Structure 1
Amino acid sequence: MIEENRRDFIHEVFINTNEKNTMTDEFFLKLEKCLSAVEDDRSVKAIFLSSKNEKFFSNGFEPTMFIGKTQKEIETAFRPVLDSVFKLAFYPKPIVCYINGHVMGVGSVVAIVSDYRVMLHGRARFGFPESKIGVGFPSATGFFLKELLGYRAARDVLNFGKAYKAEEALEIGLVDAIGKEEEIPKILNKIFSNYKDMALESVIGMKKTLRDYMKPIMEPLGREDVYEFSRTIAAPNGQEGMRSIVEARRPMFQ
């Protein structure tokens, strides 16, 4: 489900759940656990987050975890997911995300709350398809997306559900860098080299400065999101959207 490795001052985390690298509440609990384990380790200055799957960084939520479930059951499953996303967003050390395959839905949320995003040019696509499958989008992570892209770009990303090519994702600010497979190591090394000799207090302090102002806004939004987002998934159109993913067809909304 998750593979880990240590490389000098970098703790590497690889997503490896299934054929499409879909994510469940169980996955997020394990992700949070592995990040917590190195949070206070002074030998770790940065996290590298990527996938062992060459086709999918993550295709988003595992839809079967929501199909046929009540709103209360969906809330129970979604709450630890949101907690883990907050853990990622406000993790004290920088997270560098390498998107080596398609990333959609909650996988895209994991990517945007990382500090740096590097995307493979060519086969990978980056998108938020929630509007195409009949569900809403959590306001807390929507706020984060607006801070990242600006209102107009975030509006279009969420409303239209487009799967962006690497060069398009770079243009609107979803990613920081793109490259062909042979170029990726150099791009990543350039990012990580900035932290190698930096004092840990500075590493942590700079991220705190850049992100902490968002906490008082995102935390109350997140509490509302558990109910509101779960409500859209439990609704008939949300259930149809989830079934359409499993059945590989277009949804037929009421």
Structure 2
Amino acid sequence: MPYQYVTLKKEERVLTITLNRPPTNPLNGEFGMELFKAFSDAEQMDDVTVVVITSALEKAFIAGADIKEMAAQGPADAENFSKLLQGANTILNRMKKVVIAAINGHALGGGCELALACDYRLMTSGKALIGLPEAGLGIIPGAGGTQRLPRLVGLSKALDILLRGRTMSPQEALAIGLVDRLIDPDNFMADVMKFAHELAAGAGKALGYIKAAVHEGIDLPMEQALAVERKYSAENHRTHDAKEGLLAFVEKRKPNFQSR
């Protein structure tokens, strides 16, 4: 399937996925299927350590769903649309790569939910808004927002955002931990890519196994979670990067990680 709204560009071990469905990247079924495919393709790229997701549009990361399409949906259509977007976002959680949401504009509804599924949320310090306004439309978030937001910012803050359909400034989002860092709009993508390449220069296999251990173990009883950690520790110990990192330490030199 050729992409209409998505562009993939790889530079060294960093893959940038750029979204471009004017005017605000509204999510519909077709766009959702492209996101699912793009994220699936990224997951299979063994030579990629870091994935950056951003928008080609000036004022919007993803400003929500295509409301006209949603208004025409019946219950079964709504459930299938929710399942599609949940599936796409789950790939971001699952892939053994670091995923960065480069939020360069409004991230509302499904845009906020996509960002919640990423490992880092870096946002422009301008006037863009982020949040989950669905309750104000008489609907509920359906792409993971009711589940991921409480896990990120805590139950009380998440319920307030969800029940009141709140959106917020970048500064407020930073204060509650919804985003990790604010970046000046003039230097936004340059700073994002600098951070991405710094991460990508590390031991890619170890980063992936760390992420997998956290996501698989976080909801398990401690004994089972520690077993997950042991499993990935053993798997990682077989990699080139683990051997190289330990040897470099012994030899007092900088390691040459190759993400394998």
Answer whether TM exceeds 0.5 for this pair: yes
Structure 1 match to 2:130: 126
Asked whether the equivalents of residues 42 and 200 of structure 1 are also in contact (C-alpha less than 8 Å), the reply is no
Amino acid at match of 2:104: N
**Does 1:165 pair with 2:169?**
yes
State how far apart, in whole Å, the 2-side matches of 1:74 and 1:49 are.
Answer: 25
Q: Which one has a bigger Cα radius of gyration?
A: 2
**Does 1:72 pair with 2:76?**
yes
State how far apart, in whole Å, the 2-side matches of 1:116 and 1:130 are.
Answer: 23
State how far apart, in whole Å, the 1-side matches of 2:143 and 2:116 are.
Answer: 14
Q: 1:120 to 1:18 in 2, by over 3 A?
A: same
Structure 2 match to 1:233: none
Deviations 1:157-197 (A, max 9, x none): 11222221111110011100002123434642453244233
Deviations 1:180-215 (A, max 9, x none): 123434642453244233222202111112212368
State how far apart, in whole Å, the 2-side matches of 1:189 and 1:136 are.
Answer: 34
Please show how residues 1-254 of structure 1 align to structure 2 within 5 Å. Answer: 1-138=5-142, 140-185=144-189, 187-189=191-193, 191-213=195-217
Amino acid at match of 2:122: V
TM-superposed CA distance for 1:45, in Å, is 0.4
Asked whether the equivalents of residues 121 and 178 of structure 1 are also in contact (C-alpha less than 8 Å), the reply is yes
Q: 1:124 to 1:140 in 2, by over 3 A?
A: closer
Asked whether the equivalents of residues 126 and 163 of structure 1 are also in contact (C-alpha less than 8 Å), the reply is yes
Asked whether the equivalents of residues 100 and 121 of structure 2 are also in contact (C-alpha less than 8 Å), the reply is yes
Asked whether the equivalents of residues 13 and 197 of structure 2 are also in contact (C-alpha less than 8 Å), the reply is no
State how far apart, in whole Å, the 1-side matches of 2:21 and 2:108 are.
Answer: 15
State how far apart, in whole Å, the 2-side matches of 1:192 and 1:79 are.
Answer: 30
Q: 1:134 to 1:58 in 2, by over 3 A?
A: same
TM-superposed CA distance for 1:109, in Å, is 0.1
Query: What is the total number of aligned residue pairs between the two structures?
Result: 216
TM-score w.r.t. the length of structure 1 is 0.78
TM-score w.r.t. the length of structure 2 is 0.76
Structure 2 match to 1:219: none
Asked whether the equivalents of residues 90 and 212 of structure 1 are also in contact (C-alpha less than 8 Å), the reply is no
Amino acid at match of 1:20: T
Asked whether the equivalents of residues 119 and 166 of structure 1 are also in contact (C-alpha less than 8 Å), the reply is yes
Could you list the runs of 5+ residues in structure 2 that have no partner in the other structure?
221-260
TM-superposed CA distance for 1:86, in Å, is 1.4
Q: Which has the higher contact order (CA 8 A, sep 6+)?
A: 1
Identity of aligned residues (%): 24
State how far apart, in whole Å, the 2-side matches of 1:212 and 1:190 are.
Answer: 29
TM-superposed CA distance for 1:145, in Å, is 1.1
Q: 2:121 aligns to what SS in structure 1?
A: strand
Q: 2:51 aligns to what SS in structure 1?
A: strand
Asked whether the equivalents of residues 61 and 103 of structure 2 are also in contact (C-alpha less than 8 Å), the reply is yes
Q: 1:189 to 1:56 in 2, by over 3 A?
A: closer
Asked whether the equivalents of residues 132 and 141 of structure 2 are also in contact (C-alpha less than 8 Å), the reply is no
TM-superposed CA distance for 1:29, in Å, is 1.6
Could you list the runs of 5+ residues in structure 1 that have no partner in the other structure?
217-254
State how far apart, in whole Å, the 2-side matches of 1:136 and 1:189 are.
Answer: 34
State how far apart, in whole Å, the 2-side matches of 1:30 and 1:13 are.
Answer: 11
